[in-house]
């Protein structure tokens, strides 16, 4: 779990940096703003469903997995641009 959290933190900071640069340059496409909201909504729903389906017994790692997956994917996608 600590490795996952460290990896997610690094990816999140990288994503925030890339997006902030795009915004500062007035080059952030509207789709990116939509993605910011949509990805968090989807991750929250996925984590909530895992928690509810497990009767509140889901591991923290399984609840954080949707957030981690999106953070890492965003960092990679923005880095490759």
> How many C-alpha atoms does 55 have within 13 Å on its Cβ side?
0
Q: Between helices 30-53 and 2-24, what is the axis angle to 10°?
A: 160
| Prediction pTM value | 0.88
* Largest distance between two CA atoms of the chain: 46
Q: How many domains does the chain have?
A: 1
* pLDDT tens digit sequence for 55-80: 999 999 999 999 999 999 999 999 98
User: Percentage of the chain with pLDDT > 70?
Assistant: 100
Query: What's the domain range around 74?
Result: 2-79
Q: For 56, which DSSP code?
A: S
């Amino acid at each position: 779990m600590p490795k996952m959290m460290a990896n997610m933190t690094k990816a999140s900071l990288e994503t925030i940096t890339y997006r902030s640069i795009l915004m500062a340059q007035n080059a952030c496409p509207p789709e990116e703003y939509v993605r910011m909201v949509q990805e968090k909504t989807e991750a929250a729903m996925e984590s909530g469903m895992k928690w509810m389906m497990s009767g509140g017994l889901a591991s923290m790692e399984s609840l954080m997995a949707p957030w981690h997956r999106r953070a890492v994917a965003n960092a990679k996608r923005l880095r490759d641009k």
